């Protein structure tokens, strides 16, 4: 008989999540995170991203089963108190490879930050950003004038990317979306769909007059000079979903929402 996984329970600070945490702790056994084999996360998509980033920073990766007590809950399962053991045993696992953003700032600092959903470059002032776009070492666009641009994973393609009119990417498609945000020149350029092994680099043109920030999910670096983005295959993340409502089903369903 296989041993049941040792579960840790994490909850966002909202009233609903804390109330659910109290009920779960009364009904099931949990261990501290450092002793766990998996995590139960209570909250919304933002809290799921926070949980995943905490694991990446702590270099201890384990599967996460989320239950939605937030707003959208795209990365979460339905909240239910009952039959948690059976749900976890039947859950379907999805591997998610995060992006890795390597940033060089105008002042010469360098940062390396992961992103599960997307990396976005955004203008810092009323001046539009001017960017040179490189794909696998080749100049794809000599000058992109825009409010910003983003690179999204399939898991993140229904988030900011979709709001910027980017494509929805099926999980497991092996693709990333390169999507402009309010492009001015080239006016008709709507972005690109690229293989996930692509290395994308943005060079900021005139970074002093037209400063640009780079954001990996929720972590921002300001006054950037150059940003390189690629998939980080060394730290795959595992999300667990109920069989009847899996992430790939949700991504497919989003394409039919008016």
The CATH number that applies at residue 26 is: 3.40.50.10330
Same domain, 86 and 114: no
What pLDDT score was predicted for residue 108?
A: 96
Percentage of the chain beyond pLDDT 90 is 78
Q: Take residue 118 and report the two structure tokens written for it.
A: 């997307």
How far, in Å, CA of 256 to CA of 223, rounded?
39
How far, in Å, CA of 144 to CA of 245, rounded?
39
5 — pLDDT class (breaks 50, 70, 90): confident
Q: Is 161 among the annotated ligand-binding positions?
A: yes
Instruction: Share the mean pLDDT of the chain.
Output: 92
Same domain, 156 and 246: no
* pLDDT for 257 beyond 60: yes
Same domain, 65 and 138: no
Same domain, 172 and 89: no
Are 43 and 19 in contact, with CB atoms under 8 Å apart?
Answer: no
Helix and strand element counts for the chain (H, E):
5, 16
**Mean pLDDT throughout 6-31?**
96
What pLDDT score was predicted for residue 1?
A: 41
Query: 172-224, pLDDT tens digit by residue?
Result: 788 999 999 999 999 889 999 999 999 999 999 999 999 999 999 989 999 99
The Cα diameter of the chain in Å comes to 65
**CA torsion, points 17, 19, 23, 26, in degrees to nearest 10?**
110
How far, in Å, CA of 212 to CA of 192, rounded?
21
Q: Is 117 among the annotated ligand-binding positions?
A: yes
Percentage of the chain beyond pLDDT 70 is 94
Same domain, 151 and 189: yes
What pLDDT score was predicted for residue 94?
A: 87
What pLDDT score was predicted for residue 74?
A: 81
Residues classed as catalytic: 45
Same domain, 54 and 90: yes
What pLDDT score was predicted for residue 72?
A: 76
Beta bridge mates, 152: 118, 177
User: Coil, strand, or helix at residue 141?
Assistant: strand
- Range from 116-120, 179-183, 249-253 carrying the lowest mean pLDDT: 249-253
- 């999910």: which residue's tokens? 217
How far, in Å, CA of 89 to CA of 242, rounded?
10
* pLDDT for 59 beyond 80: no
**Mean pLDDT throughout 15-37?**
96
Same domain, 106 and 186: yes
Q: 164 lies in which domain range?
A: 99-231
> Residue 1, Cβ neighbours under 10 Å: how many?
3
How far, in Å, CA of 56 to CA of 68, rounded?
22
* pLDDT for 93 beyond 70: yes
> Residue 92, Cβ neighbours under 10 Å: how many?
15
**Mean pLDDT throughout 101-122?**
96
Q: Is 163 among the annotated ligand-binding positions?
A: yes
How far, in Å, CA of 196 to CA of 69, rounded?
32
Q: Is 232 among the annotated ligand-binding positions?
A: no
**CA torsion, points 199, 205, 207, 209, in degrees to nearest 10?**
-160
**Mean pLDDT throughout 44-67?**
91
Same domain, 162 and 112: yes
Same domain, 120 and 69: no
* pLDDT for 258 beyond 70: no
């Amino acid at each position: 008989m296989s041993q049941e996984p040792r579960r840790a329970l994490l909850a966002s600070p909202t009233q609903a999540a804390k109330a659910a945490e109290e009920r779960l702790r009364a009904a099931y056994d949990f261990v501290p995170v450092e002793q766990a084999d998996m995590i139960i996360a209570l909250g919304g998509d933002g809290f799921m991203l926070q949980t995943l980033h905490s694991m990446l920073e702590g270099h201890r990766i384990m599967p996460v089963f989320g239950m939605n007590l937030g707003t959208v809950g795209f990365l979460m399962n339905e909240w239910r108190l009952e039959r948690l053991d059976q749900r976890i045993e039947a859950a379907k696992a999805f591997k998610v490879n995060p992006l890795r953003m390597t940033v060089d700032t105008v002042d010469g600092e360098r940062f390396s930050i992961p992103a599960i959903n997307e990396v976005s470059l955004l203008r810092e002032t009323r001046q539009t950003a001017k960017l040179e776009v490189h794909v696998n070492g080749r100049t794809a666009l000599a000058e992109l004038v825009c409010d910003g641009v983003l690179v999204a994973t399939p898991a993140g393609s229904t988030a900011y990317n979709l709001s910027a009119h980017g494509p929805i990417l099926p999980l497991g498609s092996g693709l990333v979306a390169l999507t402009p945000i309010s492009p001015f020149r080239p006016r008709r350029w709507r972005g690109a769909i690229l293989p996930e092994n692509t290395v994308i680099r943005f060079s900021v043109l005139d970074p002093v007059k037209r400063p640009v920030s780079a954001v990996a999910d929720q972590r921002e670096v300001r006054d950037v000079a150059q940003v390189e983005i690629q998939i980080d295959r060394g730290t795959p993340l595992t999300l667990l979903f109920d069989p009847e409502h899996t992430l790939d089903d949700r991504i497919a369903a989003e394409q039919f929402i008016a």
